[in-house]
Amino acid sequence: MAICLKQTGQVIGDLFGGATGEEEDEGTTPVGWNLNPQFGGQGYAFEAARALFDHLFRSKGFRRLYASVEDHNMPSQRLCEKLGMRREGVFVEFISFTRDEDGSPIYENTVQYAILRREWMSGVPAV
């Protein structure tokens, strides 16, 4: 889904959630977001993610949402925590998006966060 500025309709990022397939059968889905850094720190990602979480829990009936965040991505880690997600663990050298000068993959550590519907319903974070 696109994250757009209400005033202009300008797309400033995107977010996802509501997987299909086996995970959905278990009531679990990954969530995530990307925001143009020019618009960071202004509450847009929080507002969009909060609306997505509320929709996934209330309308879609998911039991658990989780996010995977690179260990160096502190803004997304802070957002997860502001949304009430708990840090569940770190996957060491879990995934590679880049390669070194020899073409070998550079693996990143990934932090997993999650929140249950009952946790969300007991204390939906305010803006």
User: Which CATH number fits the domain that encloses residue 65?
Assistant: 3.40.630.30
| 127 within some domain | no
- What's the confidence (pLDDT) of residue 24? 54
Residue 14 belongs to a domain:
yes
The predicted structure's pLDDT at residue 89: 95
Structural domain of 105: 2-122
How many structural domains are present in the chain? 1
Q: Is 22 or 62 the better-scoring residue by pLDDT?
A: 62
Give the strands of the sheet with 105-116, arranged side by side.
2-4, 11-17, 28-35, 64-70, 105-116, 86-99
Residue 60 lies in a domain: yes
User: What stretch of H or E contains 119?
Assistant: helix 117-122
Q: What is the pTM of this model?
A: 0.87
Average the pLDDT over 58-84 and give the result: 95
Indicate the residue type of 22.
E
Average pLDDT taken over every residue of the chain: 91
**Distance between CA atoms of residues 81 and 14, nearest Å:** 19
- The type of residue at 24 is E
Q: Are 40 and 16 in contact (CB under 8 A)?
A: no
pLDDT at 18: 85
